[in-house]
Amino acid sequence: MTALLQIDDLSVSFRVGGAELHAVIDVSLAVRAGERVGVIGESGSGKSVMARSILRLDDPRRTRYGAGSAISLDGQQVLTLPDAGLRRLRGQTASMIFQNPMHSLNPAFTIGNQLDAVLRAHRPDSRAERHRRILAMLTDVDLPGPEDLVNRYPHELSGGQRQRVMVAQAVLCEPALVIADEPTSALDVTAQDSVLEVLGRLNRDRGIAVLMITHDMGVVARFCEKVNVMYGGRLVESGSVDRIFAAPEHPYTVGLLDATPNPAAPLKDLVAVQGTQATRRGTVSSACAFIDRCPLATEVCGTAPPLRRLPDGHHVACHHAGPDSPGRA
């Protein structure tokens, strides 16, 4: 099956303080129609920059895409699309849900006005038809009393309600892909659960693919089928959620799992991943990005490992992973 989203060798950098900041380095991944795919990593891993690049949302005056970078979305080459094509792509083919709905919703306009603006931009429907669609969508995302809610302002809603409005806005034009960038991290546990339930139902009932960007392994376990682990701007491991939770290969993935609380397990001290990410200013290091924090690091790690395919189809970028790894020689 052809991928709905195909990212190949994506590198993204920004000019900051006279130096080049390398946010994403040679990342490749795919999302097929109807899939739930996760991208996980700590703050600064490059996951959100990668996600925003799919719709080219970063300031073009300071954003550079590396030679050979390519993003194909529903057959369209995103990085070379003219502005008119990009506007059509956003909202109709793919849309994005951001972390904090209070920053994404305009406090000066009612919920109804903001949702109506999305439809006016993409659909030639009558005002009555747009209103009907808005009410139906608010109902679909479990917001009661939509007739009243369309006349309310963002500050009059709870955090969970605002985020469900953002979900409604993202799927109003029936996109094939929704990119959800930390959609639950600003919410309490109950609101997190409701937002994931709504996204899951939209995925099942409408066939909308979801690319979930998160730092929370619990969200990955609950929602995703496949997961990509990012560290230091690079993809370091990818595979099925079941495989990664059962037998993680990369030391960073092992650290993420060890640092994740398990309510069903006996109480124990959480094990933190020691150290901090190295800055990625100037020249890209030739060493493994995790070398300074890795308990398995050896001399061979002075050369960055490629993302290798293991016999079971799993992918990992580590010299010490897999039965035939050079680090185990």
pLDDT at 3: 95
List, in order, residues 6 or more apart from 2 with CB less than 8 Å away. Answer: 32
> What predicted TM-score, i.e. pTM, was given to this entire model?
0.93
Q: What is the pLDDT of residues 136-185, one digit of tens each?
A: 999 999 999 999 999 999 999 999 999 999 999 999 999 999 999 999 98
Query: What is the pLDDT averaged over residues 70-83?
Result: 96
- Where are the domains positioned within the chain? 5-268+282-316
**Nearest-angstrom CA–CA distance, 167 and 208:** 12
* Pairing, β 177-181 against β 94-97: parallel
Please give the backbone phi and psi of residue 253, each rounded to the nearest 5 degrees, phi first. Answer: -60, -40
Q: What is the pLDDT of residues 216-235, one digit of tens each?
A: 999 999 999 999 999 999 99
Which residue bears the tokens 């309600």?
A: 161
Around Cβ 282, how many Cβ atoms within 10 Å?
Answer: 10
Query: What is the pLDDT averaged over residues 295-303?
Result: 94
HSE at residue 286, side-chain half, CA atoms within 13 A, is 4
For 165-224, give the secondary structure using H, E and C.
Answer: HHHHHHHCCCCCEEEEECCCCCCCHHHHHHHHHHHHHHHHHHCCEEEEEECCHHHHHHHC
CATH number of 5-268+282-316: 3.40.50.300
Q: What is the largest CA-CA distance in the chain?
A: 69
**Nearest-angstrom CA–CA distance, 91 and 205:** 19
pLDDT at 263 over 90: no
Between 172 and 278, name the one with better pLDDT. 172
* Pairing, β 5-16 against β 94-97: unpaired
pLDDT at 194: 92
Cβ contact 35:227 at 8 Å: no
Cβ contact 173:122 at 8 Å: yes
HSE at residue 284, side-chain half, CA atoms within 13 A, is 17
178 beta partners: 95, 210
- Please state, rounded to an integer, the average pLDDT across all residues of the chain: 92
Give whole-number Cα distances, 22 to 41, 257, 273, 295, in Å.
16, 26, 22, 25
Q: What is the pLDDT of residues 90-148, one digit of tens each?
A: 989 999 999 888 889 999 999 999 999 999 999 889 999 999 999 999 999 999 999 99
Residue 328 banded pLDDT, cuts 50, 70, 90: very low
pLDDT at 24: 97
DSSP element (H, E) containing 150? none
Write the single-letter amino acid at 252: Y
Query: What is the pLDDT averaged over residues 199-223?
Result: 96
**Nearest-angstrom CA–CA distance, 237 and 252:** 9
Residue 323 banded pLDDT, cuts 50, 70, 90: low
